[in-house]
């Protein structure tokens, strides 16, 4: 059973999302575990502050090493070694193959950055991988942590109602997007479901879906470009 331990200053912001949908069901079925740890509990001052001004000057504040390092060490004493990931813009971009590698890990520790980031000595003292969800900046690592937990949980056997859902998701074979999907009604505002999906010929349906997935993948905007029309693929 995978264990996700999330180190954050805002555990109350994460709990509602972890308790609904696929994640909530997987937790209640005992397929995954999540623990939310507030590293403010390891502060050493009466104000419970975790940040300070950067040496050398500059804007913003930096997360101090003591509460982060000591909370990591406490977590690993309590529950064993974790594969440790720091959510920050300088990391490798998260991907579906990365999610597939994470699902094999019994314990993942997700460090949610804030402010200008972590004191670099945190990385010198512990083996921590840096992971990003894209080339943009957020106020903290909480949303990226939820993205990773969600993506990995979907791959845990039994987490989805039909195992084919994960197998047929976008990017499962590397780069290919998912094919278009349709449901009732058969005609909506003058737009009909493609006839091939109504004929019951599964070989033709599979061929059509592969062709549509390839076309959608080829038409996908490149990073940094602006799409001319919406891409309604799987999230």
Active site residues per annotation: 89, 116, 154, 169
Beta carbons within 10 angstroms of residue 23's beta carbon: 21
Sign of the dihedral defined by the CA atoms of residues 217, 147, 99, 150, in that order:
negative
3-state secondary structure 18-60: HCCHHHHHHHHCCCCEEEEEEHHHHCCCCCCCCEECCCCCCCC
Terminal alpha carbon distance of the chain: 25
- For residue 130, report the phi and psi dihedrals to the nearest 5 degrees: -95, 130
Report which secondary-structure segment, H or E, holds 164. helix 163-167
Evaluate whether 178 touches 150 at the Cβ level (below 8 Å).
no
Q: Are 95 and 223 spatial neighbours (Cβ–Cβ below 8 Å)?
A: no
């Amino acid at each position: 059973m995978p264990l996700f331990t999330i180190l954050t200053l805002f555990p109350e912001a994460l709990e509602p999302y972890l308790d609904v949908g696929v994640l909530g069901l997987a937790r209640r079925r005992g397929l995954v575990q999540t623990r939310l740890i507030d590293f403010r509990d390891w502060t050493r001052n009466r104000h419970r502050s975790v940040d300070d001004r950067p040496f050398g000057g500059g804007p913003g504040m930096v997360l101090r090493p003591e509460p982060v390092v000591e909370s990591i060490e406490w977590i690993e004493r309590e529950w064993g070694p974790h594969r440790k990931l720091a959510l920050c813009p300088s990391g490798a971009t998260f991907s579906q193959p990365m999610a597939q590698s994470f699902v094999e890990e019994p314990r993942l520790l997700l460090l949610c950055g804030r402010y200008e980031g972590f004191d670099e000595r945190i990385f010198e003292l512990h083996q921590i991988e840096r992971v990003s969800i894209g080339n943009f900046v957020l106020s903290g690592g909480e949303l990226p942590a939820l993205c990773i937990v969600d993506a990995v949980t979907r791959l845990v056997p039994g987490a989805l109602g039909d195992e084919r859902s994960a197998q047929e998701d976008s990017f499962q074979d590397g780069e290919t997007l998912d094919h278009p999907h349709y449901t009732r009604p058969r005609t909506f505002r003058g737009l009909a479901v493609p006839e091939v999906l109504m004929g019951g010929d599964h070989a033709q349906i599979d061929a059509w879906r592969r062709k549509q997935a390839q076309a959608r993948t080829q038409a996908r905007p490149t990073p940094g470009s602006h799409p001319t029309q919406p891409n309604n693929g799987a999230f």
